[in-house]
Structures are given as C-alpha cells and as structure tokens.
Amino acid sequence: MPSFAAKLAQSQPHEIAICDEASELSWADVDRTLNAVANGLNTYDLGVKRRVAVFAENAVETAMANLGGLIAGASVVPVNFHLTADEVAYILEDAQVRVLFADAKTLDRAVRAARLAGVAYVIAWGDAAGGDGVIAWSQWLADQSDAPADENLKPMPNLLYTSGTTGRPKGTELPPTMFAGGDTVGEHLANLGEDPRAEAGVHMVVGPMYHTGPLSGARLLAAGVSSVILGRFDAEKTLAAIEQHRVGSSVMVPTHFVRLLALPDEIKQKYDLSALVSIAHTGAKCPVDVKRAMIQWWGPVFVDAYGASEVGTTCSITSEEWLLHPGSVGTSNPPFTALIIDEDGNELGPNQEGRLYFKDETGRGVVYHNDPEKSAAAHIAPGVFTLGEIAYMNEEGFVFITDRFSDMVVSGGVNIYPAEAEQVLIDHPAILDVACIGIPHPEMGEELKALAIVKDQEVAAEEVLAWCRDRLSHYKCPRTLDWVDDLGRNTMGKINKRKLRAPYWEGHQG
C-alpha cells in the first residue's frame, strides 16, 4: 500500500480515516483494503487501456474502488449511477472497460450492461452481491493479498463521461490541471500528499462521486485527510455532519446552497459550523442573492471554481473578491487566459459581451476520447476553446457569465445536453418536430423543457414525457412539455434556441 496509509496505520491505527452513514474504516483498514483492491485488479488482464469502472452510489466502498484502481495503475471510469443499462453499456464498450464495480442499487443494470459490453468481471457490494456470476466485494477482498501494492506502475488518469452534444456520451481524460502526475504510482501519491486542501482538515463529500469534485474526497486520503461521505443530499444531515466531524472542506453546487438556505432558522442556528475553512463552489453559476446569503451565514469560506471536467478550473474567485465583484466567476487561472470574442472571431474589449473563450498556454485545450471531430469543434484555434458561455470581462479581468450559446443545460450542477432527449422524443409517433431548452427553476437553477409540434393525432404531454423516461435516464428527460405551432427553424433547418429561451428567462438572472 502507499506509504501515506502505512504510516498513518502505524501512528494512528484506530483513527477513523473514512466513513459513510453505514460504515467506517480506520487508517489500518484503509491500508489493507487499498492493497487488496490494487493487488486484486492486477490479477486480471486489464487490457492496453487498463480501464475499470465504478457504477455505484456514494459509499466507503465507492471511494476504495476508485482510489484502489488508481493505485493499481488503472484508469478508473466513474459512471453516473442514474444511467440505464444500455447507456452504461455504451460507456463500458467505448472505454474498453475490463472490470466493473457496482452496488446493490445498480447491480441489475450493471449485470445487463456488462453482458452487452462483454465485461467479464462484475464485483459488487451490498445485499444483492454474489449471485448471477457476480463476485462479492467482501469475499473478493478476503481472497487478495494485502501486502504492499506495487508503486512502480504508471499512474493513469480517470476517463470521465458527460452527456453528449449529439446524443452520445463523450469521454475525456482527467486533465493535467487536475491530475497530480508523476512517472510512477508512488510519485503520484506523493504529489497528492502535497495538496494544499489538506490544511483544511476533514473533507466532506456531498455530491455524487461520479463527478470530479466529490471524487477528490478519495484522492485527499493520500494527503492524510479523513473523509466523510454523505449519500443523497439532505440539508440538515449535512449541517449535522459538519458539526459532528468538524468538517473543514467540501465541494458544493448552488442547489445545495438553495436547500440549505431553505431550512428553518432554528435548524440553521442549531449546528456549530466553526470548523469550516474552505468550500469549493462549482457546477453552475450561483444566483447573487444565494451566494451573498451563504457568505453571511458561513463566512468568507467559499472559493468559486468555474470550468469543466475537460479542462479543470479555468476561473476562480474568493469570497472576498466576490463581495467586491458580485456575480463574477473570477479571473482566469494559469495556464488559461480568458478572451471575449465576437461572432466574427474578433477579440472584444472590457465590458463588451461576447462568446467566452480560453487560451490554454500548454496548447492542449479540450480533448475528447476517441473523437477528434468533437475536440476540434470546441476550438477556434489550437488551444483556444470555449465551454459555450456568453460573458463580459471588466477592466480588472473579472469574468461575468450572462448567457449560454451552447445548448447545454445545467440543472442542479449536472450538465444535460438536450440532443439526447430530442433524439428520443422525435421517435414518438405523435411528434413532428421538437426542441428542448433550459428554463429557470428556483432550486435546480435550470430544468429541461420540451417544445414540440404535434402531428395529426392528439396526445397528452405527460404521456409523451413518460414515454421518454422509459427510454432515457430520468435526469436527462424534460420535466415539462409545451405544444407549439412553430420552432422557428431557418432555411438551413437550424433553431435559434437562445430566442426560444428568452421568454422564459424574462425577469430572471441568466
């Protein structure tokens, strides 16, 4: 096992290193478990890409599978636990996954997906594990050596999948800005051990661990940072965990803030939050009034990180800076430089609204797995890419997002690409044409709405929405559907979605 856990296991063998709502592991337990996971994975032929996937809800085991895979020199693919078996199978096949980890809630879908994708090994924890050719996690661990794992293997970045702009998920490797590097696993773990967030103390995971931010709770173990893993978000349980475990850091999205602020005053005042040092806010732009209220309540502990899984954090801003520039997502972070570009490709000056691009000084930009065309489409020049936002930048370099020119919808911090729902809905026998857009939602920020033209037969909107949910993960489906007479397609057949969105966003902050 890596030296960090071995040392902590010797000096603090009984201290809780990681826990969830049902179980906990000491540093000695972590040492044994990670050794067993790494050694066990290396008994398999992981293929040229050395890919393993984790398809499970938040739990201690989820963290151990992710970190153990990294220590095994594998490229771990975190899979969204909301996906259907067919959606998971596509990812497994595209990524060339050889081993799939699952839990009791995902197991049925995991087994079907593995069969479709030809994945030979499914390892699962929870009550349902052990049948149907599934390897039970606890027995699998017991069968492996817990001797120190080989740290001379090459460390491999995660392969992350997001919803696809054209209807298929797209994969991207964890970018260099978020990957600790090193020629060997040992060097990589040593680099992780230097994470400055370690100074904040106990880390709390509140978001789903198929996202990069929440996954950092597992990686922070390498810096000797204990992690508290929460399940599906509950506002009061979050406050209680902060008090109980003296939580110093976490990663949250605006939806978490909205739900926390909605608690009764007596609940908000009930818990001691004084241990908090640093809360990374990511996932979506936060409404000004929500952010201001959180700073007033928790203090100036927030650091906004604007970016994407494809590239990492492109802009950041502290609470103190935000109070001077409310609504900003901050100034650009090296190696990125923010640029505001007009539709003709010309760079605009301060306080002029245009398309937000970033110049990556390394020249890398956005790289999609197995898809050079998608990679190229994100750029206007080598290393100059966009995340699809419209913005302006003031004289001091602070960026303010005002709208989006891409179709992407951000709901509760989750990126949704309307093309996936549109491709399903257009196959409904009653629909002639359809477009999906993001409209305001008080808690989630945005929600997906379908605008559709009916053929000659009558059909209820709810029937069509249910039809969509039967064929696509629910979070990707529109929550509402409006029948319209025209979608405004131009002579080239294109739809101006910004125009379609405009009436719904009147009076709202975009």
pLDDT digits (tens, 9 = 90+) for 341-400: 998 889 999 999 999 999 999 999 999 888 888 889 889 999 999 998 889 999 999 999
In a domain, 275, yes or no: no
In a domain, 249, yes or no: no
Tell me the C-alpha distance between 407 and 345, whole Å: 20
In a domain, 288, yes or no: no
In a domain, 454, yes or no: yes
Confidence band, pLDDT 50/70/90 cuts, at residue 403: confident
Q: 80-89, 190-199, 306-315: which has the minimum mean pLDDT? A: 190-199
In a domain, 352, yes or no: no
What pLDDT sits at residue 369? Answer: 87
Q: Count the neighbouring beta carbons within 10 Å of the beta carbon of residue 227.
A: 26
Q: pLDDT at residue 167 above 70?
A: no
Q: pLDDT at residue 4 above 90?
A: no
In a domain, 394, yes or no: no
What pLDDT sits at residue 264? Answer: 96
Rounded CA Rg of the chain: 23
Tell me the C-alpha distance between 44 and 458, whole Å: 55
Per-residue pLDDT of 249-288, as tens digits, reads: 999 999 899 999 999 999 999 999 999 999 999 887 788 9
Tell me the C-alpha distance between 273 and 33, whole Å: 32
Per-residue pLDDT of 196-205, as tens digits, reads: 888 899 999 9
In a domain, 280, yes or no: no
Of 449 and 505, more confident = 449
Task: Give the CATH number for residue 456.
Answer: 3.30.300.30
Q: Show which of 177, 203, 219 is a domain's final residue.
A: 219
Counting the structural domains of the chain, the total is: 2
What pLDDT sits at residue 277? Answer: 97
Mean pLDDT score, 175-195: 92
Q: pLDDT at residue 129 above 70?
A: no
Q: pLDDT at residue 1 above 50?
A: no
Confidence band, pLDDT 50/70/90 cuts, at residue 128: low
Task: Give the CATH number for residue 58.
Answer: 3.40.50.980
Of 159 and 432, more confident = 159
Query: Is residue 343 exposed (0-12), middle (13-18) or buried (19+ Cβ within 10 Å)?
Result: exposed
Its domain, for residue 110, covers 3-219
Q: pLDDT at residue 190 above 60?
A: yes
Q: Show which of 197, 219, 241 is a domain's final residue.
A: 219
Query: Is residue 51 exposed (0-12), middle (13-18) or buried (19+ Cβ within 10 Å)?
Result: buried
Instruction: Provide the whole-model pTM.
Output: 0.87
Q: pLDDT at residue 499 above 90?
A: no
279 - beta bridge partners? 250, 302
What pLDDT sits at residue 432? Answer: 87
Strand order across the beta sheet in which 16-19 lies:
24-26, 16-19, 227-229, 203-205, 249-252, 278-281, 302-308, 312-318, 331-332
Residue 144 carries which side chain, given as an amino acid letter? Q
Q: 47-61, 297-311, 454-468: which has the minimum mean pLDDT? A: 454-468
Confidence band, pLDDT 50/70/90 cuts, at residue 3: low
Q: Show which of 181, 199, 219 is a domain's final residue.
A: 219
Tell me the C-alpha distance between 155 and 50, whole Å: 10
What pLDDT sits at residue 89? Answer: 97
Confidence band, pLDDT 50/70/90 cuts, at residue 510: very low
In a domain, 428, yes or no: yes
